[in-house]
Structure formats: structure tokens, C-alpha cells
Amino acid sequence: MKVIILEEGADLDALSCAYGVLLLYQDAYLLKPSLLSRRASEVFKRFKERFRILEELPQEFDLVLVDAHHVEEYKLPGVKEIYIFDHHPKAPKGFKGKVDEVGSATTLVVEELQRLNVDISPEDATLLALGIYEDTGSLTYEGTTERDALALAWLLKKGANLRTIREFLRESLSKEEIDFLSKSLVALEKLFIDGSKVVVFVLRSEEYNPDFLQVAYRLEDVKDADAFFVIVSVGSKTYLFGRGLKGRFDTSKILEAFGGGGHSFASAVKLENVSAERLKTLLVQLLKGENPAIRVRDVMNYPPFALREDMTVEEALISLAERNFAGAPVLDQEGRLVGVVYKKVLLKVAKLFPSKQVKDFMQTQFHTLSPEDFVWDAEAILSTYGEKLIPVVEDQKLVGVITRLDLMQTLIKQTEPLKPSHRKVQLPKEVEELARVVGKICQELGFKGYLVGGVVRDILMGRRIWDLDFVVEGDGIKVAERFAQHYRVNVHPFPEFGTAHLKVGDFKIEFATTRRETYPHPGAYPVVEPASLKEDLFRRDFTINAMAISVMEEDFGTLIDYFGGLRDLKDKLIRILHPLSFVEDPVRILRALRFAGRFDFKLSKSTEKAMLNALSMHLLKQASRGRLLKELTLAFREEKLLDILKLYRQYKVLEELIDGFQWSQDLELKLEKLKEVVSWHKIEFPDKKLEYGWLYLVILLEKVKGEEFLRDMSAPAWVRELYRTYKEQAKEVIRKLHQAKKPSEVYLTLKGFSEPFYLLLAIEESLRPKIVLYMEKLSKLKVDVSRFSGLKGKELGKAIENEKLRLMDETFTLT
Ligand code: ATP
Ligand code: MG
């Protein structure tokens, strides 16, 4: 009995060749193959019943190897003779079978079948032809010989079915697969590790697609790999799959680092709170044998510094100050962890109770971590509960401390540049001119300069540009000064921030020095230090705002996109750069909704989750009110204000910002109506430059005591006046307007109020005709004064007014 054993991951040529051997020898069997290449496995599935299969090796047999690379591995007990059918130059010789240098191993068996005049069916011919087609690239690969062509010719004569062959050999992916990939493939990296080729893919999709693994298998890059990993980010979850292809690479070992497991050839793990790009960075570092920080133990401060619960407030403060710590875990006499205490709290009570003890002011409700937890679990705790410090506990003992700063530093290390982008961005002409000048100046000074932030986003979106932000790796102010000289304009430097402002034509230009910002506490103004471009971008709010364009001569216009901003622009997503973003700066909550409204973008799932966390922590209440309201003012200037307000409603942000504020159906309706009024007003009175946003705010504040809020918002005087009038008089005016039967009554009711007030009144639809009549006609009515030439002063005024009233009642009618 002859037994064919296929190598693990055997390809289609090997399978076809094996089939030929079955045709050649009636006593031959195929040992059930364990793992075939994708194509071989598809063909095997389809033609399974044609193969004589053996589940287990018999006691004694002749071994047949086809297209095999490692004969020595098969010197098994019970093997009597060895047959080899192989076409590789290095194939072992001196065995039975047939070894020759041709394009495909199958050719060799086909020649034997031909020689022995074996009668084969069209299906047999098809199955055999597949091997030759595959291994010779349809007779086009180097190494193809005339003999392969002749073997193929014979198979065609025997009725090989071309249609079936085409179906299996389809080289390319289907259109759906290509669409899916082009939408979701974020990165693809090929690595060579100890002679193995490993491919890492990153896919991103807001919806789960069950086919992504299948698609990965079919990619050209995977076909000759020893293993591949697919990282898929779906919403806020990230999946990591590993597949070994030729039995030479154990993927489960790698996945264990992330808490996953499985077979040596197939393993998977599902993670929360960690982005796909970051996981890729970590995976690649692991594959390269580096030791990236994955678990809490890799980043925690050790040994931990702790305070004792019976220390006085004063002692504790000194202890913290010596080390410049913002807080510490607290231990009791037995060394058990009993609380966490913050300097901020102690400072507040220090004056009043200097000799009270730490335990009186410590937090006894707090989270702990184990050293085996993941770094991103720590981030999730910090961003969900707002803690600044987490004790790390093992066997109920304090073994370390993790702080927000540790996590931020880890995060930035785990943010890797996307592969250098060769994408060049075409700048608008006027911008390009200015940018080239900046580039030249940077060159002269030995700095590097970039356009950054909103302007890059707007250029990519093809929007109009007004503000140009440049950052300089070097000294932004110096560049600004030379730039100002060049254009003969004034420059306003702010040395403490490393920035300078100036204007050229209509462009407002800011120069900054690349910097890193750390926030002393949530929402505070940040502290600034110099840093690299990457760090400068990392401190920004959203991926779409965190791209740069080089303005240096050598790579002018090259897009620098570390965080996938371009892709998010295409997908219309607002995405924070890291999970701690909103905690770091709660103002970003408002910014996220402003951009979402302005561009009609959505929040990415993980961003939405982080935002909901931040809101439930009431971070908006803790943040710097000045900065929040300044941001809010910007929102009220937006064209799409109403959409932004809808988002505010959805996420309940105004409730956090305005005391006593509540949304209602009625309020939302009023705002919609106000929008109609505003659109009308813009068309009818295009010259009146009104800041309409304030009108919306007045309506929003109608039911609360809003005077103080308006003051905090630095609302202009006319807005505060309008608010007062609206609250005090609108009801009465509306009542009178309803009752007015004649144009003159309308006129008398409305006379003397301001235009914005009329717009607010016009929210009520039934009043609109009267208000429109007043604004467009009645208020502009002129009378011929020559008729009253005998009158003077008050009397003249009265006469004119009476004439007006008469005239308007005569000329106009109320509908
Ligand atoms: P706009 O079109 O409204 O001006 P912008 O994106 O230019 O939008 P700016 O407020 O002008 O926004 O800020 C410029 C850039 O500074 C932003 O693109 C962003 O990169 C960064 N930035 C602004 N505010 C924050 C913040 N609170 N946190 C982090 N980065 C910020
Ligand atoms: Mg801007």
C-alpha cells in the first residue's frame, strides 16, 4: 500500500500531483491533509469524494511525497519505500517516483499517466490541470518548460474544464472584497522574523464584518507568509487574530501577551479600550522581540510611595511637596491600603485643620488595579472615574502606583507614525506662496516648518481658508519675525507661549513652536514645554485636527498623518487621539460636538463612549468656565448652530453648563422656528450684519435666570438688553399683536423695539405677517411733510405721525 502525505499548507500543485498519483497507482491513498493552502483547500473541498482518503497511517506502507521540501521529516517508522514526485532543483534524488526540473510537479505524474496510457475522465483532467496552471502561472512563470505545456495540452484533449479552472484560479479579489478592503484597511506591515515572513494587517470598520478573516487569507501578501495577524477595530472593540500558515510559527505565544490563547496555528483575543493602531505597534514590537509596556506592572511606579493614615495634614503636605506629588495612596498601621489622598484637598483644609489626620480627608472609595491588568484598563479607569492616581495591588498589598502622567507617557510611546506618507497635498495658490516663504525662512534658520491643525483639515476638505497655523520645530517667534519683515507687516509675539501672530492680506497667521502641553488639573490652562512635531500633534483634540503639511522645500506639501486623520475625514468621523483626551481637556467635549455639527460628522464609537464617561463625571462642571464659555461662544457663531444644539441636547451638555436648564419639546420647536425667521431675515436684509447666534441663546435662556450666564459669556450689551426686553415684555407685545386689527395698531405696538426683538417675536408663525409688514413697510413709511408747513415742533411731529397712521391703514390691510 502506498500512502501520500501532503506537507502542511501544501499548495494546489501538490494536491493535483497527489491526485495524479492516486490515478497512477490503484493501491495509493492520501493521508487526510491537515492544513492546505487556501486554493488547495477550496479545490479539495469541491473534489473530496474523488480522493481515496486514509484517516490514519497503517503499520507498514510505501511513502509517497509530492512537491515536498523536507523528506527527512518523513522517515517514519513503518515506511518501506519512498516515492518522490518533485520538480524543484533541490529535490532529493535516488528515490522511486520521478524528479525533474519542470514548471509543476503535476506535469511529472501527467507524463506518467500519458506514458502508461491511463484513461482519465474530464474531471480528472480538470483537477490535474489546476496544478499545472497554478504552479506555472498559466505557463508564464520562469521555470515553465515545454513539457508542462505538452502535459496541459494532453489534459485539455481529455476534456479539462476551463470554466472550473478559471473559477478556482481567479487571481483577484471580488469587487465587494476590494471595496471592503479599501474602506477598512488601515495598515499592512510585512516583517521578517528569524527567517519567517509575518504579515500584520489593521482593519477598521464601524460594523462587524464576518468575512474579514477570509479576505485576509486571500491577499497576495499572505499567500507566501508563514503567519499573519489581523487586527480589527469594530466600534470600541478590537479583535486580534493570529494564523500560522505552514506550521512554523506559533501565533498563540504572541497572543498570550494580550491575554489571548488558542492553537499554535490559530488564536484570537478580543480587547476593549485599546485602538487597533496602538495594538499593531505593540504587536510589531513584540514580534521583533522588544518588550513593550502592555501590563500595568510595566508602567507602574515602584516601589510605591504612600502616606500613613495617622499622619497630620501638615506632615502629609510636606511629604508630598518634597516629592512633588499630587496625591498618594494611604496605608493604615498594619500597612493595608485604606484610601487615596490628594494634595489639592489637603491644601484646602490645611489652614483650618493643620493637625487633623490624613484619614479624615482621604478618599475611601477608589479603584485599584492588579499588575497583570492592561495599561488600557488603567486608562479606562482614569477616563471613566476621573481618578488621577490608581494604587496597584497584589495579594492585598500595595505594590505600585499609576498616575495619569505615566499613562500619557506610555500612550505617546505607543503612538507610531503611520508609514511615511508620500501623499502630496495641493495647497491653494495664495496659501502655497506664503507657505513657501515660511519654508525658506525655516531652512535658513535650520528649523523645520509645517502647516498644522484646522487649516490642514480645511485644505483637505477643499474649504475656504482664513487662518493659517504654522508650527516650527525650532523657534516659531524667530520665524514669525523674519516672515513679518519679508511682508513688511507687524508681528505680535507671545514669548511665554512661544507663539506669534500676524496678518498678511486677509490671512490671520499664527506661528507656534512645537510643544507639549500638560494640564495641572482638568480644564485648567495648560503648561507648555518644547517638543517634537509628533508630540505637538499628539496634544491636539481630534484626528482630523492633528495632521500637518510640510512646507520645507525638500518635501513641500507632504501630508503628515500619525493618527489616521485623513481616513477619518473620509469616514466623516470625529475621533479623539487617546482615551484620556476628554479628561485632559473637557473643553474638547464642546469642540467635538461643534465640529460634528459643522461638518455633519459622527463621533467614532470609542469617542462617544469616552465623551459619555466624561459627561457622567461632570467634567464640564469642573473645567475652567472661561475656556468653556469661550468655546461655547464659537459654537453660537456657527452656521449649523441648530445641528450643534441638537447634539448638545442629545448629550445633555447645556444641563451641565447652565444652572436650571432643561430641554423641552417647546424649546426645540422654537429654535426650529427661529431658524426659519433667521433664514428669511438673511435673505430680506442681507446688509444687516446680525450675530444671529445670540438670538438662539436668548431663547435657550428664556426659562432660566440667564443674566449672569450672558455676562459670563461676554455677550454684547445689545444681547443683554434684548434678553431683558424679551423676558419682561414679549408676552404683552405678543398679546397686543394678536389683538391688533389695523396696521396702525401693529405699528404702535412694535414701534421703538429693536430688530432682533422683532425676529424673536416672529418665532410665532401667526404673528409673522404682521411683523413682516411692520419691518418691510410700516417702519419705512414716509409722509409728505410739505402739507404741514404751518406747524412746528411737537405739533408737527404729531401731525406727521397721525398722517402716517392714516396712510398705513389706508394703504395696507392685515391678512
Ligand atoms: P476652526 O475652523 O473652528 O478655527 P480649528 O480646528 O482651526 O477650527 P482652532 O480653535 O482654531 O480650531 O484651533 C486650532 C487647532 O488647535 C485645532 O485644529 C487643534 O489641532 C488644536 N486645538 C484647539 N483647541 C484644542 C483643545 N482644546 N485641545 C487640543 N487641541 C486643540
Ligand atoms: Mg482655526
DSSP string, 252-284: HHHHHTTT-EE-SSEEEEEEES--HHHHHHHHH
The CATH T-level fold of domain 2-168 is inorganic pyrophosphatase (n-terminal core) (3.90.1640)
Chain segment 387-415, per-residue pLDDT in tens = 889 999 999 899 999 988 888 888 888 87
CA of 455 to the centre of ligand 2 (A): 7
Chain segment 110-124, per-residue pLDDT in tens = 999 999 999 999 999
- Residue whose CA lies nearest to ligand 1 atom number 25: 541
pLDDT band for 34, please (50, 70, 90 cuts).
confident
Answer yes or no: is pLDDT of 520 > 60.
no
CA of 109 to the centre of ligand 1 (A): 69
pLDDT for residue 525: 60
Supply the DSSP symbol for 445: H
Answer yes or no: is pLDDT of 420 > 70.
no
Largest CA distance in the chain: 138
pLDDT for residue 749: 93
H-helix or E-strand spanning residue 79: strand 79-86
pLDDT for residue 665: 94
Ligand 1 pocket residue status of 578, Cβ below 6 Å:
no
- Residue whose CA lies nearest to ligand 1 atom number 11: 454
CB 567 within 8 Å of CB 502: no
Ligand 1 pocket residue status of 453, Cβ below 6 Å:
yes
Ligand 1 pocket residue status of 536, Cβ below 6 Å:
no
pLDDT for residue 587: 96
CA of 454 to the centre of ligand 1 (A): 6
Answer yes or no: is pLDDT of 499 > 70.
yes
Residue type, 649: R
Nearest CA to 382 out of 406, 363, 347, 399 is that of 406
Closest ligand relative to 463 C-alpha:
1
Cα separation of 272 and 475, whole Å?
Answer: 40
For range 588-592, the mean pLDDT: 97
pLDDT for residue 415: 77
Answer yes or no: is pLDDT of 537 > 70.
yes
- For the stretch 724-728, contacts whose Cβ atoms lie closer than 8 Å and that sit 24 or more positions apart, written own/partner, are 725/753, 725/754, 725/757, 726/698, 726/702, 726/757, 726/760, 727/702
Cα separation of 463 and 339, whole Å?
Answer: 53
The CATH T-level fold of domain 175-292 is Diaminopimelate Epimerase; Chain A, domain 1 (3.10.310)
Cα separation of 587 and 270, whole Å?
Answer: 32
Cα separation of 680 and 652, whole Å?
Answer: 30
Work out the percent of the chain whose per-residue pLDDT is above 90: 58
CB atoms within 10 A of CB 793: 7
List Cβ neighbours of 25 (8 Å cut-off, separation of 6 or more).
2
When mean pLDDT is compared over 247-251, 720-724, 794-798, the highest value belongs to 720-724
| Ligand 1 atom closest to residue 458's alpha carbon, by position in its atom list | 2
Answer yes or no: is pLDDT of 518 > 80.
no
For range 65-76, the mean pLDDT: 75
The three cell numbers locating residue 546 = 492633528
Ligand 1 pocket residue status of 586, Cβ below 6 Å:
no
CB 202 within 8 Å of CB 171: no
CA of 593 to the centre of ligand 2 (A): 16
Closest ligand relative to 452 C-alpha:
1
Answer yes or no: is pLDDT of 69 > 80.
no
pLDDT band for 419, please (50, 70, 90 cuts).
low
CB 552 within 8 Å of CB 443: yes
pLDDT for residue 726: 96
For ligand 1, mutation pick of 540, 575, 631 (most atoms within 8 Å of CB): 540
The mean pLDDT of the chain is: 89
Cα separation of 105 and 615, whole Å?
Answer: 66
CB 773 within 8 Å of CB 814: yes
- For the stretch 675-678, contacts whose Cβ atoms lie closer than 8 Å and that sit 24 or more positions apart, written own/partner, are 675/642, 677/759, 677/762, 677/763, 677/768, 678/759
Ligand 1 pocket residue status of 588, Cβ below 6 Å:
yes
pTM, full prediction: 0.70
CATH architecture under which domain 298-415 falls:
Roll (3.10)
Ligand 1 pocket residue status of 722, Cβ below 6 Å:
no
Domain spans of the chain? 2-168, 175-292, 298-415, 418-571, 572-650, 658-781
CA of 204 to the centre of ligand 2 (A): 29
Chain segment 85-144, per-residue pLDDT in tens = 988 766 777 789 998 889 899 999 999 999 999 999 999 999 999 999 988 878 877 678
CA R_g for the chain: 38
Answer yes or no: is pLDDT of 788 > 90.
no
Work out the percent of the chain whose per-residue pLDDT is above 70: 93
CB 532 within 8 Å of CB 518: no
Residue type, 432: E
Cα separation of 661 and 559, whole Å?
Answer: 44
- Specify the range with the lowest mean pLDDT, choosing from 189-203, 662-676, 722-736, 779-793: 779-793
pLDDT for residue 210: 60
615-627: b or e for each residue (b if 16 or more CB lie within 10 Å)?
A: bebebbeebbeeb
Ligand 1 pocket residue status of 585, Cβ below 6 Å:
yes
Answer yes or no: is pLDDT of 215 > 90.
no
For range 611-627, the mean pLDDT: 90
> ∠ CA 536-490-629 to the nearest 5 degrees?
50
Residue 530, CA distances (Å) to 523, 641, 746 in order? 21, 36, 64
pLDDT for residue 176: 67
Answer yes or no: is pLDDT of 310 > 90.
yes
For range 364-386, the mean pLDDT: 90
Strand 337-342 versus strand 507-513 pairing type: unpaired
Cα separation of 339 and 328, whole Å?
Answer: 9
- Residue whose CA lies nearest to ligand 1 atom number 21: 540
Strand 467-473 versus strand 507-513 pairing type: parallel
Cα separation of 518 and 514, whole Å?
Answer: 13
Nearest CA to 699 out of 679, 680, 672, 676 is that of 672
Q: Assign domain 572-650 one CATH number from 2.40.10.10, 3.10.50.30, 1.10.10.10, 1.10.110.30.
A: 1.10.110.30
Cα separation of 99 and 159, whole Å?
Answer: 27
CA end-to-end span of the chain, whole Å?
Answer: 105
pLDDT band for 423, please (50, 70, 90 cuts).
confident
Chain segment 666-719, per-residue pLDDT in tens = 999 999 999 999 999 988 888 888 999 999 999 999 999 999 999 999 999 999
Peptide bond before residue 304 is cis, with ω within 30 degrees of 0 = no
pLDDT for residue 166: 84
CB 474 within 8 Å of CB 445: yes
Q: Assign domain 658-781 one CATH number from 1.10.3720.10, 3.30.70.1560, 1.10.3090.10, 1.10.287.3510.
A: 1.10.3090.10
Answer yes or no: is pLDDT of 246 > 90.
no
Give the 3-state secondary structure of residue 355. coil
The CATH T-level fold of domain 418-571 is Beta Polymerase; domain 2 (3.30.460)
- Specify the range with the lowest mean pLDDT, choosing from 17-21, 205-209, 254-258, 648-652: 205-209
